[in-house]
Amino acid sequence: MTNPVTIQQSGTIPAQPGPREVTVTDDVTPGARPGGTSGSGQAGNSVAPGGKPGPGAAGDAVRQGLGSSVVFGPGQVPGAVIPGAGPSGKPGSRPTVKLREADPDDPPRYAPEWLELREPADAAARAHDLLDPLRIRLANLPGKSGVVIHDLGCGTGSMGRWLAPRLDGAQHWVLHDRDPYLLHFAAVASPRSAADGSRVSVETRRGDIARLTPDALRGASLVTASALLDVLTREEIDTFAAACAGAGCPALLTLSVAGRVELTPSHPLDAELTQAFNDHQRRDGLLGPDAVTAAAEAFSEHGATVRLHPSPWRLGPEQAALTEQWLRGWVGAAVEERPELRAEADVYLADRLAACAAGELRVTVHHIDLLALSRPVGGAS
């Protein structure tokens, strides 16, 4: 049963429709070529400032850096859907940090181009109101000269680039992902200093996370993730909440889909496509738009204080490239779920893309951020 006393909401939240650790730890050597065999298999090293992605198509795809125009890789054209955009993906596909056993050659779900394209919108959307209670908790950690932050499914490291400069004190980030190139990019593009100028260091851990346990989080001060909850099952969320509670560390989980989008001007097919997309998100037992409610309940049952805050993308003419990719992925997933919509959806998509190109389309994609403040281990405040 959910403990109703511990769940706190900020803003208006719409109604919501034998363990093991990471198996491989990757070192990142500055200048190493991403995408190949990297590291020596030793514990992840801190990355020296100034490291850059190595040569090759993967490195070239994001060489311009965050906030620049997207550069499409070989074989990609502006009209194509960047893998992961939407997200659509194939049925049964998983995010780049996998929580179940799968074929080791299964390709990652998210392309770096998509992660780069969405980073400014993510940064603008994340809930700043959750940072003050988090700062208070981290400042009250006993006997700490710095904090250790585990970022699950880090992708290209956007969470670290957003959060590290907003927290005081020395920080050590442990970046988890299964994609070696994304890990490399996340490490070399990570911030080097905190809000007060303190040092920020980084290590990477590559591999599949089968189950998360308190032992895997031993020594963690905080766990973070972006756009992760909605691709988990209820069992995985329960395991995640139990691990954080057992380790006594808070969790900041941002940009989980809320199951609502608003497009202006409106269209009669908007609601039907939204429902089909939400059903697609719930495939294979994944929670999709129900994930935030499930996570709030799970963390609360483990004694955590849970705060929720809206974090919508607000997309206008300045975000036309992101809006285009989101539309293609969103409509594509809806049609995959309901093939009978294809003829209508093709016309709909063409009209929406034309409006986007003309600067006439506005889209709000609703997300929710969650901060769970688990009870500290050992009675610390």
User: Residue 98's pLDDT is what?
Assistant: 42
User: Residue 198's pLDDT is what?
Assistant: 96
Residue 73 structure tokens: 């890789």
The number of beta carbons lying within 10 Å of the beta carbon of residue 194 is 20
What's the distance, Cα to Cα, between the start and end of the chain in Å? 25
Reduce the DSSP state of residue 226 to 3 states and report it.
strand
3-state helix, strand, coil in the chain (%, to 5): 35, 20, 45
User: Residue 71's pLDDT is what?
Assistant: 40
Distance of CA 4 to the CA centre of its chain: 27
User: Residue 40's pLDDT is what?
Assistant: 28
DSSP state string for 84-141:
TSTT---TT---SS-SS---TTPPPS--HHHHHHHHHHHHHHS-GGGHHHHHHHHHT-
The tens-digit pLDDT sequence of the chain (381 residues) is 444 334 454 444 333 332 222 223 333 333 332 333 222 222 233 333 333 333 232 333 332 333 334 343 444 444 566 655 554 344 444 444 444 444 555 555 567 888 899 999 999 999 999 999 999 999 988 766 799 999 998 999 999 999 999 999 999 999 998 888 889 989 999 999 999 999 999 999 886 554 567 788 888 999 999 999 998 999 999 999 999 999 999 999 999 999 999 999 999 999 999 999 999 999 999 999 999 999 999 999 999 999 999 999 999 999 999 999 999 999 999 999 999 999 999 999 999 999 999 999 999 999 999 999 998 876 544
CB 275 within 8 A of CB 249: no
Task: Say if strands 200-206 and 251-264 run parallel, antiparallel, or are unpaired.
Answer: unpaired
Q: How far apart are CA 271 and CA 36, in angstroms?
A: 44
User: Residue 206's pLDDT is what?
Assistant: 80
Three-point CA angle 135, 141, 142, nearest 5°: 155
Q: How far apart are CA 70 and CA 62, in angstroms?
A: 7
Q: What is the DSSP letter of 300?
A: H
User: Residue 298's pLDDT is what?
Assistant: 97
Q: How far apart are CA 363 and CA 342, in angstroms?
A: 21
Residue 370 backbone dihedrals phi, psi, to 5 degrees: -130, 130
Neighbouring residues of 79: CB distance < 8 A, sequence distance ≥ 6: none
Reduce the DSSP state of residue 376 to 3 states and report it.
coil
Q: How far apart are CA 112 and CA 109, in angstroms?
A: 10
CB 133 within 8 A of CB 371: yes
Q: How far apart are CA 372 and CA 34, in angstroms?
A: 35
User: Residue 164's pLDDT is what?
Assistant: 98
Q: What is the dihedral sign for C-alpha 294, 297, 299, 304?
A: positive
Statement: the pTM of the whole predicted model exceeds 0.75? yes
Residue 260 backbone dihedrals phi, psi, to 5 degrees: -130, 135
Reduce the DSSP state of residue 252 to 3 states and report it.
strand
Burial class for 103, CB neighbours closer than 10 Å (0-12, 13-18, 19+) = exposed
Burial class for 120, CB neighbours closer than 10 Å (0-12, 13-18, 19+) = middle
